[in-house]
Amino acid sequence: MAGKEWQGEWHEAEEHADRAHELFERGRFPEAEAELRKALAVDPDRGEWQFNLGLTLEAAGRDEEALSCFRRAIELEPGAPEPFLAGGGCANRLGRHDEALTLLESAARIDPGNELAYSQRIDALSSLGRHEEAETIYFVAQQRFEEMPRCLSAMGESLFSRGLHDRAAWCFREAIRQDPSLPRVRARLAAVMSADGQPQKAVQLLLQELREDPGNVETILEFGAILVELDRLPEAAEKFSRAVELEPANAMAHWSLGDLALQTGRPDQAVVEFELVQRLDPEYPSINLELAEAYQRLGDVNAARSRLRAHLAVEESLTETPESAVRVGGLLLDSGLFAEAALVLRDAVAQHAEEAALWRQLAYARFRAGDRSGGAEASLRLLELEPECAQAIHNLALATLDGGELEQAKSWITRGLTTWPNDSGFRHLRTRLWLARAGRWATGVSMHARLAARRVRRWIARIFR
């Protein structure tokens, strides 16, 4: 009787697994997962079912859980290449490229004729910055396969990441020739064209890509970004809105709408979109900075300051590029956070010492924070980079004037007026210099008068003693 019961349970588990396959094919992933878990409750050591559960979770965007299933499937069926390949793909997407390499090397040993084991290793090595090793895998694949569109696409990504646009474009074009149905290769070629200053060619490629796959949100967003570059803003807005229709919880789509709203003078709408991005993905890069700018444009300085402080608290790299540093510095200064701006900009000029815009901001921040000597120091450095910088000369004139160093102030003011004789700022400083000199002279006269009066009083006192 027990054997019959077991046979019945096993038969029922098989039915659950079969239903899961049907549901998976129809894109009903939560139901497919439920059926597979019922099957695995009966027989948890079926490697095939563990693998299928991993595929289902992967399709639902749950890579972490999927990878665990693929690892279990590998334990149960160590001779099957598919769990190694799928696990390698998951590990790559999760940024665990070393683990991906280990899994993919095993897949290549088991099934050396599977191109995916080579192309995904190229991806992993490129992500680790090991581009020479990636090229070695590519040349090994060339010896093994007559056609290898996936390896060509992966090699194109490696070359593109290094700014080798011509070679990257050749790889993508060859991948398209070998397999025109390969997903998103035209979109990647479009990215190369856009980066190479050929956005119109990029548009044509993206149109073709969307004819093949009209619902690909990633391609739609890239198309919208290129339309923004071409200043075709209404069309870009349509693309971003379409992406939101297809994937309402897509944070990048809402960010794109928010950014476009800022560009077109609608900061209120930008706040709505950026707030939604933060709810969807609290760790979305620089979202507090975007919100700070939107609130500044609305005139809500307190909200902007709050967002900027939140940005400073969580962002690890505020000054990775000169452009990002200038933007952060500018927003901090516009919000009146001068001490915070001085700290951020101090770090920025340490990394980008030749960037005059950063020294200009640092000088202003230090002066406004009450650090006159620090402001003068930054102004002198700015003057080295831009010998005719009016702001630096004005800063130095003002600093020496406020410090009572009138001769030095005169020298800076004279230098400024020689170059810009009609500049109202330098003319105002000249007036202040005259007043400071007059005040010093008047102080001296007053002192002499008091001394003279004291001598007269003493003389009179001696006469009438």
Say what the pLDDT of residue 77 is.
Answer: 92
* Predicted local distance difference test score (pLDDT) of residue 8: 58
Rounded Cα distance between 128 and 140, Å, is 19
* CA gap 168, 162 in Å, rounded: 9
Is residue 415 classed exposed, middle or buried when 0-12, 13-18 and 19+ CB atoms within 10 A define those classes? middle
pLDDT of residue 219: 95
Domains and CATH numbers, the chain: 187-248 (1.25.40.10)
**Of 197, 196, 190, 161, which Cα lies nearest the Cα of 173?**
190
Q: Is the per-residue pLDDT at 331 higher than 90?
A: yes
Say what the pLDDT of residue 6 is.
44
Predicted local confidence at residue 402, as pLDDT:
85
Give yes or no for residue 151 having a pLDDT over 80: yes
Q: How does DSSP assign 378-400, residue by residue?
A: HHHHHHHH-TT-HHHHHHHHHHH
Tokens of 233: 């803003």
Whether 222 has a pLDDT exceeding 90, the answer reads yes
Could you report the per-residue pLDDT of 20-66, keeping only the tens digit for each? Answer: 999 999 989 999 989 999 989 888 889 999 999 999 999 998 999 99
Residue 443 has pLDDT above 80, yes or no: no
Q: Could you read off the pLDDT of 340-370 as tens digits, one per residue?
A: 999 999 999 999 999 999 999 999 999 999 9
DSSP, residue by residue, 53-104:
HHHHHHHTT-HHHHHHHHHHHHHH-TT-HHHHHHHHHHHHHTT-HHHHHHHH
What pLDDT score was predicted for residue 148? 96
